[in-house]
């Protein structure tokens, strides 16, 4: 009964980056700037794609969905961190923590699945160009995105339901600036064997398999590009998937770095810095990578700015 009386904790404590008061305001300014740049960049990408008929193709349809997911991901995590920095508080309610954990799992999983779908799109475009329009139909594109959302939502629901059955006793400190599944499981004073089994299964199915699919796609893409006789043709073929490849490397590089860092050190600060790379920096850089490396996006942005300028006159 004594343990049961301690199961319904009212709040958790997010350790974040620094306990020193003089660090709170600079950190607030830094992350507010990063958040605004991320939100503005991803909204601009979505607006550009939606407003320009030249970009109504499968590749940009998937890109607009990726921008939406990145916007939702940072909005799930950063505003609470900004509030805590501004108020010099570390607290997050039990319900708020589980809600944040749920949406973080949804959007993090969606990132991996959409990057996989985009790799498949590039594979079809380069390796089977004559059949591209037939294969990547509107129905298939919609189905792939719908399937990605469904898998992500169902996965997060299963994890969340299993967390709800756990008992939490006296330990409440989470060594991150947001509520992640693994640290929450470590706080439980009851058996988490089933939870950990599900984590391993989903990591394999939704982590390793998508990465394997991306790796296979780019193996085939590189093989096809190398068979192109002209240097100009090789450059043109690679330019169509260069931006996506940069995003994949950035996403998986920071993702692996987060979990290697988390397993190698118990430092809250180091773990949080590693997490920022995956959860904040990557969504912030994605719009720049696509806009700076993609001629179609740059042309569409110029047309959009021109239309907006003409309306303001």
Give the pLDDT confidence score for residue 265 in this predicted structure: 47
Mean pLDDT of the chain: 87
pLDDT reading at 263 higher than 70: no
What is the percent of the chain with per-residue pLDDT over 70, rounded to a whole number? 90
C-alpha angle 12-87-91 in degrees, rounded to nearest 5: 5
Q: What distance, in Å, lies between the first and last C-alpha atoms of the chain? A: 72
Give the pLDDT confidence score for residue 260 in this predicted structure: 59
pLDDT grade for 246, boundaries at 50, 70 and 90? confident
Give the pLDDT confidence score for residue 176 in this predicted structure: 84
Q: CATH says 8-312 is which class?
A: mainly alpha
Q: What's the helix, strand, coil split of the chain in %, to 5?
A: 80, 5, 15
64 vs 269: which has the higher pLDDT? 64
pLDDT reading at 312 higher than 80: no
Give the pLDDT confidence score for residue 29 in this predicted structure: 95
Give the pLDDT confidence score for residue 140 in this predicted structure: 97
pTM of the predicted protein model: 0.90
Using one digit for the tens of pLDDT, what is the confidence trace for 64-105?
A: 999 999 999 999 999 999 999 999 889 999 999 999 999 999
pLDDT reading at 250 higher than 90: no
Give the pLDDT confidence score for residue 213 in this predicted structure: 93
Residue with tokens 């995956």: 278
Q: Are 26 and 33 in contact (CB under 8 A)?
A: no
CA-to-CA distance for 205 and 212, rounded, in angstroms?
10
Using one digit for the tens of pLDDT, what is the confidence trace for 27-51?
A: 999 999 999 999 999 999 999 999 9
b/e 82-116 (16+ beta carbons within 10 angstroms → b): bebbeeeebebeeeebbebbbbbbbbbbbbbbbbb
Give me 241's structure tokens: 């998937």
């Amino acid at each position: 009964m004594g343990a049961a009386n301690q199961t319904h904790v009212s709040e958790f404590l997010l350790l974040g980056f620094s306990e020193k008061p003089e660090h709170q305001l600079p950190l607030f300014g830094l992350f507010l700037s990063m958040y605004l740049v991320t939100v503005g960049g991803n909204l601009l990408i979505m607006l550009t794609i939606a407003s320009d008929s030249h970009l109504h193709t499968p590749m940009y349809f998937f890109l607009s969905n990726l921008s939406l997911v990145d916007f939702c991901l940072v909005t799930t995590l950063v505003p609470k961190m900004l509030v805590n920095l501004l108020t010099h508080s570390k607290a997050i309610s039990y319900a708020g923590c589980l809600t944040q954990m749920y949406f973080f799992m949804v959007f993090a999983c969606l990132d991996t699945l959409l990057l996989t779908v985009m790799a498949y799109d590039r594979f079809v475009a380069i390796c089977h160009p004559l059949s591209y329009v037939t294969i990547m139909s509107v129905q298939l594109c919609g189905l792939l995105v719908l399937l990605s959302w469904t898998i992500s939502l169902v996965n997060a629901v299963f994890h969340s339901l299993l967390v709800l059955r756990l008992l939490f006793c006296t330990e409440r400190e989470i060594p991150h600036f947001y509520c992640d599944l693994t640290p929450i499981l470590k706080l439980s004073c009851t058996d988490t064997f089933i939870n950990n089994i599900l984590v391993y299964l989903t990591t394999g199915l939704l982590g390793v398999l998508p990465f394997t699919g991306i790796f296979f796609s780019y193996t085939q893409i590189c093989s096809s590009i190398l068979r192109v006789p002209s240097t100009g043709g090789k450059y043109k073929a690679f330019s169509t998937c260069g931006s996506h490849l940069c995003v994949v490397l950035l996403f998986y590089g920071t993702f692996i770095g987060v979990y290697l860092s988390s397993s190698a050190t118990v430092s809250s600060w180091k773990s949080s810095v590693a997490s920022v790379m995956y959860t904040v920096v990557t969504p912030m850089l994605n719009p720049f990578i696509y806009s700076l490396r993609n001629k179609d996006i740059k042309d569409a942005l110029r047309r959009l700015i021109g239309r907006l300028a003409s309306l303001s006159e």
